[in-house]
Structure 1
Amino acid sequence: MKASISSAVGRAIYIFVLYFVAHGITSLFVFPAQTYLLGTTSFFASLIYLPHGVRILSTWLFGWRAILPLFVAEYTSQVFFLPEDALATIRPDLIVSSLIGAVSGFLAFTVLHFAGGNFSFGKSSKASWTLLLVAGGIASAFNSIGQSILYSDSIAAADLALVLVIYALGDLLGLFICMLLMMKVFQWVR
Structure 2
Amino acid sequence: MWLPTAWQIKNFSATTAAVFSIYFFTYFLVWAVTTPLQHSLIPEITAYASLLFLPHGIRVLATSLVGAMAIPGMNLAELLGNYWFWGIDSVVPLVAVSIASGTVTWLVFEGLRNVRINGYYINVTSEPPPFHVFLLAGILASTANAFLVTAIMEGGMTVGHVTPILAAYVTGDTTGLLAIMIATKHVMPFVGQGADWQPISRVAHSPHFFCSDQGRVAATNE
Contact in 2 for aligned 1:41/1:159 (Cα 8 Å): no
* Alignment counterpart, residue 28 of structure 1, candidates 27, 32, 40: 32
Structure number with greater CO (CA < 8 Å, separation at least 6) is 1
Give a deviation string over 1:23-42, Cα, whole Å, max 9, x none. 00111111111111112225
Q: Which runs of 4+ in 1 moved over 6 A?
A: 187-190
Question: CA offset at residue 121 of structure 1?
Answer: 5.1
Superposed CA RMSD in Å reads 2.2
Going from structure 1 to structure 2, the CA distance change for 1:153 and 1:112 (only over 3 Å counts) comes to closer
TM-score where L is the length of structure 2: 0.76
Deviates more, 1:180-189 or 1:27-36: 180-189
Equivalent position of 1:14 in the other structure: 18
Equivalent position of 1:87 in the other structure: 88
Cα distance in 1 for residues equivalent to 2:157 and 2:124: 41
Question: CA offset at residue 187 of structure 1?
Answer: 8.0
Say how many residue pairs are matched: 186
Q: Is 1:3–2:7 an aligned residue pair?
A: yes
* Alignment counterpart, residue 165 of structure 1, candidates 164, 167, 176: 167
Contact in 2 for aligned 1:75/1:95 (Cα 8 Å): yes
TM-score where L is the length of structure 1: 0.88
Cα distance in 2 for residues equivalent to 1:187 and 1:24: 27
Equivalent position of 1:137 in the other structure: 139
Question: CA offset at residue 104 of structure 1?
Answer: 1.2
Contact in 1 for aligned 2:119/2:137 (Cα 8 Å): no
Contact in 1 for aligned 2:109/2:118 (Cα 8 Å): no
Give a deviation string over 1:110-146, Cα, whole Å, max 9, x none. 1211222034451135322111110001100110000
Contact in 2 for aligned 1:42/1:163 (Cα 8 Å): no
Percent identity, please.
Answer: 24
Q: Is 1:108–2:108 an aligned residue pair?
A: yes
Cα distance in 2 for residues equivalent to 1:188 and 1:111: 27
Cα distance in 2 for residues equivalent to 1:114 and 1:137: 18
